[in-house]
């Protein structure tokens, strides 16, 4: 119940294409869903986050779509660029806690 399942494990996209990464969860007490981006040799960094009271959040080329009834959320990267090549982690946290439960990560490669 505490898990966050992420897919795919790896993704190859051509420059200009759309990258889509999916996550699913079981625990309906989760109330905060961030995405972290990690470049090789660096620590993860917050990219974008959403709460379950909205179905979509957009920041530039990055959009989170959230489906509360299906208990799924996804990251869409529009007009993918080689600089977006990184590992992406979805995560979830419980109400009133500091802890994040991370997905297993998706390695994205964007080819020119």
Partner 1 sequence: DARVTQTPRDKVTEMGQEVTMRCQPILGHNTVFWYRQTMMQGLELLAYFRNRAPLDDSGMPKDRFSAEMPDATLATLKIQPSEPRDSAVYFCASGTVLGETQYFGPGTRLLVL
User: Applying CB under 8 A, does 24 fall inside the site for partner 1?
Assistant: no
Of the candidates 33, 44, 50, the one whose C-alpha atom is nearest the C-alpha of residue 91 is: 33
Applying CB under 8 A, which part among 21-29, 35-43, 52-60, 66-74 lies near partner 1?
35-43
Asked if 34 interacts with partner 1 (CB under 8 A), we say yes
Cis peptide before 93 (omega within 30 of 0): no
- Count Cβ neighbours within 10 Å for each residue of 21-43 and write b for 16 or more, e otherwise: bbbbbeeeebeebbbbbbeeeee
Touching partner 1, residues 69-108 (CB under 8 A)? 89, 93, 96-100, 102-105
Query: CB of residue 50 vs partner 1: minimum separation in angstroms?
Result: 11
The residues that touch partner 1, with contacts defined as CB under 8 A, are 32, 34, 41-46, 49, 89, 93, 96-100, 102-105
């Amino acid at each position: 119940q505490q898990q966050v399942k992420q897919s795919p494990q790896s993704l190859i996209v051509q420059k200009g294409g759309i990258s889509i990464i999916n996550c699913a969860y079981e625990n309906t007490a989760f109330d905060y869903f961030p995405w972290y981006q990690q470049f090789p040799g660096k620590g993860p960094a917050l990219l974008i986050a959403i709460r379950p009271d909205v179905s979509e959040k957009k920041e530039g080329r990055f959009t989170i779509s959230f489906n509360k009834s299906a208990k799924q959320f996804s990251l869409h990267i529009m007009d993918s660029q080689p600089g977006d090549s990184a590992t992406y982690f979805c995560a979830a946290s419980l109400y009133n806690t500091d802890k994040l439960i991370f997905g297993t990560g998706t390695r994205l490669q964007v080819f020119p």
